């Protein structure tokens, strides 16, 4: 990655001897490897591996964690986006600690992924890897590729949601989720 960043900067006509660019290839490579693409080093199943039995009477109840901040990068322009996600699931036999939901989100967000796909992948993973009866993920984000280039819509925010399992088919559960996470 360092060599590629160096070649990119040179191709842009920049002088790599300039003091602020001396270690840029190393810094950029470290940032991408350790912060933007580290999600490829783990799987959603690993993020959700530590589970607990459903508490008495908890089967079929809606579990929601809202306001999870995250960052990711768009695969089209390699530009970052950041936002807030709201996750929900309906447990079958197992639940996870709330922090595991944040870990799941980061595992999938720290890849090159479209916002719409991120929401879908989170919801599907909760059903597939946790065994939830249903799941939801709603994401509101600020996309650098929309705000800072092309149309330059500086104040634009984007919203994506995805539902899986019973949350895809049960309007009452979806309405409960929407009431919790708000507009």
Domain ranges of the chain: 2-35, 48-181
What's the mean pLDDT when you consider all of the chain? 94
**Least confident interval from 45-59, 68-82, 141-155:** 141-155
Task: Identify the pLDDT of residue 148.
Answer: 84
Out of 3.40.1260.10, 3.30.1130.10, 3.40.1280.10, 2.60.450.10, the CATH code matching 48-181 is 3.30.1130.10
Span 54-83, average pLDDT: 92
Asked whether 93 and 131 are in contact (CB, 8 A), the reply is: yes
- Residue 11 burial (10 A CB sphere; 0-12, 13-18, 19+): exposed
Helix runs in 73-152, H state only? 98-109, 115-130, 144-147
Q: b or e along 146-155 (b: 16 or more beta carbons within 10 Å of the residue's beta carbon)?
A: bbeeeeeeee
Task: Identify the pLDDT of residue 166.
Answer: 97
Span 164-176, average pLDDT: 96
Residue 57 pLDDT more than 80? no
Task: Identify the pLDDT of residue 151.
Answer: 80
Alpha-carbon torsion (55, 59, 62, 63), positive or negative: positive
């Amino acid at each position: 990655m360092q060599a590629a960043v160096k070649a990119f900067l040179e191709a842009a006509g920049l002088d790599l001897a300039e003091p602020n660019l001396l270690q840029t290839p190393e810094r950029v490579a470290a940032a991408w490897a350790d912060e933007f693409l580290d999600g490829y080093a783990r799987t959603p199943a690993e993020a959700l591996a530590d589970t607990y039995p459903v508490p008495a009477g908890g089967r079929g109840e809606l579990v929601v964690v809202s306001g999870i901040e995250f960052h990711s990068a768009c695969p089209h322009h390699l530009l970052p986006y950041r936002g807030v996600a709201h996750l929900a699931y309906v447990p079958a036999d197992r639940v996870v600690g709330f922090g595991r939901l944040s870990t799941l989100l980061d595992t999938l967000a720290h890849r090159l992924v479209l916002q719409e796909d991120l929401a879908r992948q989170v919801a599907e993973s909760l059903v597939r890897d946790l065994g939830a009866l249903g799941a939801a993920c709603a994401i509101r984000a600020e996309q650098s590729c929309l705000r800072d280039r092309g149309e330059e819509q500086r104040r634009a925010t984007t919203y994506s949601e995805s539902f899986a399992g019973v949350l895809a088919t049960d309007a009452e559960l979806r309405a409960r989720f929407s009431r919790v996470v708000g507009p």
